Structure 1
């Protein structure tokens, strides 16, 4: 699914008594995708990226009556990888490589755009035939400069393959990267962290370290260090160690982070370290030079003027 830079206060503070770990609170803005809206967290004027993560959307929960649903026509990407993860519902993914995959709660879809890919996100007729709900996250990863033009790829990871464990009674899933003694099988291109956790009221979870990190609160209320976090807000952390999240109510969080890759240009669905590459991609899409999506060739999203 598709976007902006910032003054962030620098600190070498370690998280200790009297020294808070939160550098910036991001409040998402609603973005209409046609038929439903998403909460767009990254990028913002305050912060473009957290580690390699350059895009963060929280979809729903959106309730659709029978006969309607998500219906995102074919559109292109370059020099990035998309990650789709659902809490509820189902999305049917098609792309120009010929991939056809239904993604369901717990699964991870990793689509590597690299030199260029086109995909659509719709729903199966069996799903749209009845009232249904869609709820999940979609994130984009910027690729390291050496990998920006690799061959496009699509990899589906069933939920059963994503490692889960309990940490102090808290259920966590290590979606990408390594944390809490386990490593996710999901392919990464730079040091990348993505963890989901469900906390009961009163529980505390120590967060794994990473060069850059941010906590997104999908539901409930928590404190990140000494800072209260409202639902659907993201707390970008300082370079602090020993940071914990304490749940004031039952809560679901997503932790993202990893190594910084440097500034990226971002325009519409295109991300690159080079503005000239984005200009080329725009011209290629306008000129019909991207591959089409088998089984979904008749429609497409035009380049915004």
Structure 2
């Protein structure tokens, strides 16, 4: 049986939706590769991310990853010097094209920057309002409510898992980690298991000549439940499209099978998954903290109830 890699495409911006997504679709279709596309659906306020400049490591990331070239100067002004365009209103056709091509679609956020910078300390009402806003725009665009969620920036709070269940989501990829789990009151979590390209670009502490070679080294062996790799429409769908193709070809040579998050979730239906609480942790190459799993001390391993 081939090991699996679930490809999760995070789409953060208007530019990523209108330009990066079509490029990625064309590549994935040509190589016959499955993937899940998770969309930011409301206003593009990317420029407001400058508030993260005080976070340890954020300036270094900006220097390493050439943010202007990936996102474009106009995008970096949205929400500050330029009004934030509503992605769902302007890019609905591009989003529906993804569904028509047979790729899985889901929710990344309503307002990407607002969620990433605000959800960790947000109230129950704030969190519910943001999830409902994303759910409603998604349903307007695709004609059915979303069942897949992947939090912007892997940012969570204690209310998110139960709200996801309440609002009809069936599967989530909001966290970083090594294996699937179920948070208290929530739905199955499929953590991102591999570093992202922007966490590897420009680092001088890695032995390989390129981020792609680092990723291929990390996938020489497969974990029990396979890998989840998160890519970005603005990076792999932009300047790194050719390198991303090399990565896909390398994974093919390593005998991986490409699946969607939904396909990975379906394969776990009869699998006993750990019950884990959420906590904050760090990831090499990424500024700030992200949501990760903390095994529950008082709960035994149990079957999925999603």
TM-score in terms of structure 1 length: 0.31
Task: Compare CA radii of gyration and give the structure with the larger one.
Answer: 1
Larger helix proportion, structure 1 or 2?
2
Whose relative contact order is higher, 1 or 2, with alpha carbons under 8 Å and at least 6 apart?
A: 2
Larger strand proportion, structure 1 or 2?
1
